[in-house]
């Protein structure tokens, strides 16, 4: 049984059944927070939870930016993380996993030492920029945080790293491996390794082999603290087992699983509209008029190679061009697509910060993007899996202590209805149908 599991893991598709987001245990001897009783005590502040582990200047910075009370995942995981134990951080989108693992990073490193001591691995450049920003904010000027991201200036960074090794590196898998293979720096003094969106990286055929090198060849689990984070860890019991079996973590790794029965924020309202493909653009426009979002992300499918060869325009371009002519509201229409070059991606990413936007994006924005002003999500194209649905919908409802309502609306054809129903069963949510007639009275 165990041998079969490890063969599947080595195939490049480690957890091939994304439906099993909350699968029942098969063989785990490891503690999970779901099974730990909650302590009966008044809520502690973040400072109290981290006292004696995280440097005071970092806690002061955290308070200055408004991180005073720990979120549920922070309260549950910080005792484990700050004790130096390996941890699988498994909690809802927008629940505050980034701050939890960064506080562990600051407790593990010695800012006085000139060596690379912490590595945070992320799947995309955009998420890397975001995590680097939070790490720099907490570090103030006490230590260097370097971002080694796809599309970055790796040549220049190679000499910077050699001249003054940063204590913390935030990197995409490919960029990190490139630097290590060029011997730009050594990972010999790594004390803590964080892999964010771990299920995504393991599921990506482009990234999984390099990730294995980082976990088993460049560094060893026995000499570092390892933290895996995600809102979705399909077949998590098997993943925990594999972590130990493949020496990705030590054997006493703890699975902190917060709110396992509710993988999406409770204030999220799910709706759907059944319409034909031809009607979709107009339905989207009607929804925008009706909802008047503060800001919204409109998810579209990545264009297939076949469609590119046929010379078709991608969904993303069609939607952006339509909205730029037909949408009369005040939000700025922006585009983010894997096929754009890194400069264009950077421009969209920068513009999206700080003002009201309608961001038309492929799934590149579905992992880790933190734009708390996003009040509405629209799935112009149906996500491929329940996991994709969860991460797209989780781009809203990202203010941990706010009960402000937010919504995710999916546009489907009659034939796609059963797929959405399957997502509802897997993720245990209810989506309400919005009648098509109510759309057309507004816009047409």
Ligand X SMILES: Nc1ncnc2c1ncn2[C@@H]1O[C@H](COP(=O)(O)OP(=O)(O)OP(=O)(O)O)[C@@H](O)[C@H]1O
Q: Which residues 48-77 are close enough to bind ligand X by CB under 6 A?
A: 66-67, 69-71, 74
Shortest distance, position 188 Cβ to ligand X, whole Å: 29
User: What does each C-alpha distance from 58 to 64, 137, 304 come to in angstroms?
Assistant: 10, 9, 45
Residue 260 in the binding site for ligand X (CB under 6 A): no
Stretch that binds ligand X, among 108-116, 357-365, 392-400, 426-434 (CB under 6 A): 392-400
Sign of the C-alpha dihedral, residues 77, 91, 241, 117? negative
- Pick out residues in 270-329 that bind ligand X (CB under 6 A): none
Nearer to ligand X, 123 or 165 (CB): 123
Contact between 158 and 133 under an 8 Å Cβ cutoff? The reply is: no
Asked if residue 79 lies in contact with residue 48, where contact means CB atoms within 8 angstroms, the answer is: no
Output the smallest distance, CB 135 to ligand X, in A: 12
Q: Is 398 in the site for ligand X (CB under 6 A)?
A: yes
Closer to ligand X by Cβ: residue 25 or 372: 372
Please, which residue, 98 or 144, has the CB nearer to ligand X?
98
CB of residue 44 vs ligand X: minimum separation in angstroms? Answer: 12
Nearer to ligand X, 96 or 128 (CB): 96
Which of the stretches 114-122, 165-173, 267-275, 394-402 binds ligand X when contact is defined by CB under 6 A? 394-402
User: Interacting stretch for ligand X, rule CB under 6 A, among 87-95, 216-224, 353-361, 377-385?
Assistant: 87-95
Q: Which 193-252 positions form the footprint of ligand X (CB under 6 A)?
A: 231
Contact between 173 and 148 (Cβ < 8 Å) = no
Torsion sign over Cα 213, 216, 217, 221: positive
Instruction: Report the residue number, 32 or 303, with the smaller CB distance to ligand X.
Output: 32
CA–CA separation, 32 and 47 (whole Å):
24
In angstroms, give the least distance from the CB of 372 to ligand X.
Answer: 5
Region of 31-39, 152-160, 264-272, 368-376 interacting with ligand X (CB under 6 A) = 368-376
Nearest CB to ligand X, comparing residues 30 and 99: 99
Is 67 or 378 the residue whose CB approaches ligand X more closely? 67
| C-beta of residue 185 within 8 angstroms of C-beta of residue 179 | yes
Q: Which region, judged by CB under 6 A, interacts with ligand X, from 13-21, 88-96, 118-126, 423-431?
A: 88-96
Task: Work out which of 150, 370, 416, 436 binds ligand X, going by CB under 6 A.
Answer: 370
Query: Residue 94 Cβ, how far from ligand X at the closest point, in Å?
Result: 4
CA gap 103, 105 in Å, rounded: 5
DSSP for 233-300, please give it: -TTHHHHHHHHHHTTSS-TT-EEEE-STT--S-TTEEEEEEE--GGGHHHHHHHHHHHH--SSEEEE-
| Contact (Cβ atoms closer than 8 angstroms) between residue 162 and residue 185 | yes
Tell whether residue 152 is a contact of ligand X (CB under 6 A).
no
Interface of this chain with ligand X, residues 92 to 111, rule: CB under 6 A: 93-99
Per the CB < 8 A criterion, the answer to whether 235 and 8 are in contact is: no
| Rounded Cα–Cα distance for residues 155 and 184 (Å) | 10
Decide the pairing of beta strands 118-122 and 192-196: parallel
CA distances from 81 to 106, 146, 189, 209, 297 (A): 11, 22, 19, 27, 33
Residue from 372, 419, 424, 440 that binds ligand X (CB under 6 A)?
Answer: 372
Question: Strand runs (DSSP E) across 317-419, as ranges?
Answer: 332-336, 357-361, 376-379, 406-412
CA angle 215, 248, 210 (to 5 degrees): 30
DSSP for residue 38: P
Nearer to ligand X, 93 or 259 (CB): 93
Of 62 and 240, CB closest to ligand X: 62
Contacts with ligand X by CB under 6 A lie at 46, 66-67, 69-71, 74, 93-99, 231, 368, 370, 372, 394, 398, 400
């Amino acid at each position: 049984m165990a041998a079969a599991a490890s063969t599947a893991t080595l195939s490049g598709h480690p957890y091939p059944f994304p439906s099993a987001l909350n699968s029942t245990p098969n063989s785990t001897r490891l503690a999970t927070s779901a099974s730990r009783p909650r302590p009966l005590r008044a809520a502690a502040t973040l400072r109290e939870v981290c006292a004696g582990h995280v440097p005071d200047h970092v806690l002061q910075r955290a308070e200055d930016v408004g991180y005073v009370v720990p979120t549920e995942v922070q309260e549950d995981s910080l005792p484990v993380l700050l004790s130096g134990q390996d941890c699988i951080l498994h909690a809802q989108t927008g629940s505050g996993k980034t701050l939890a693992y960064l506080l562990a990073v600051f407790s593990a490193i010695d800012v006085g030492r000139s060596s690379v001591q912490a590595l945070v691995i992320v799947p995309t450049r955009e998420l890397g920029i975001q995590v680097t920003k939070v790490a720099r904010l907490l570090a103030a000027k006490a230590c260097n945080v370097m971002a080694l991201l796809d599309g970055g200036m790796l040549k220049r960074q190679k000499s910077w790293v050699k001249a003054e090794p940063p204590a913390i590196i935030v990197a995409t898998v490919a960029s990190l491996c490139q630097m290590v293979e060029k011997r730009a720096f050594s990972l010999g003094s790594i004390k803590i390794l964080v892999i964010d969106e771990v299920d995504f990286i393991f599921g990506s055929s482009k990234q999984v082999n390099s990730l294995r090198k980082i976990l088993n060849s460049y560094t060893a689990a026995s000499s570092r603290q390892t933290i895996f984070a995600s809102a979705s860890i399909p077949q998590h019991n098997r993943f925990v087992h594999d972590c130990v079996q493949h020496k990705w973590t030590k054997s006493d790794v703890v699975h902190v699983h917060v709110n396992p029965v509710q993988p999406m924020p409770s204030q999220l309202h799910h709706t759907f509209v059944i319409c034909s493909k031809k009607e979709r653009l107009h339905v989207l426009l009607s929804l925008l008029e009706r909802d008047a979002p503060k800001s919204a992300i409109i998810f579209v499918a990545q264009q297939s190679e076949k469609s590119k060869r046929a010379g078709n325009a991608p969904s993303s371009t069609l939607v952006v061009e339509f909205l730029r002519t037909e949408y009369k509201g005040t939000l700025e229409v922006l585009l983010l697509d894997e096929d754009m070059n890194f400069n264009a991606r950077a421009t969209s990413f920068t513009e999206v910060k700080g003002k009201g936007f309608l961001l038309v994006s492929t799934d590149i924005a579905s992992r880790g993007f933190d734009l708390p002003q996003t009040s509405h999500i629209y799935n112009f194209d149906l996500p491929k899996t329940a996991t994709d649905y969860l991460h797209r919908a989780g781009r809203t409802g990202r203010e941990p202590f706010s009960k402000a309502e937010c919504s995710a609306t999916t546009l489907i054809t009659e034939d796609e209805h059963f797929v959405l129903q399957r997502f509802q069963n897997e993720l245990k949510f209810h989506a309400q149908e919005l009648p098509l007639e109510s759309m057309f009275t507004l816009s047409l």
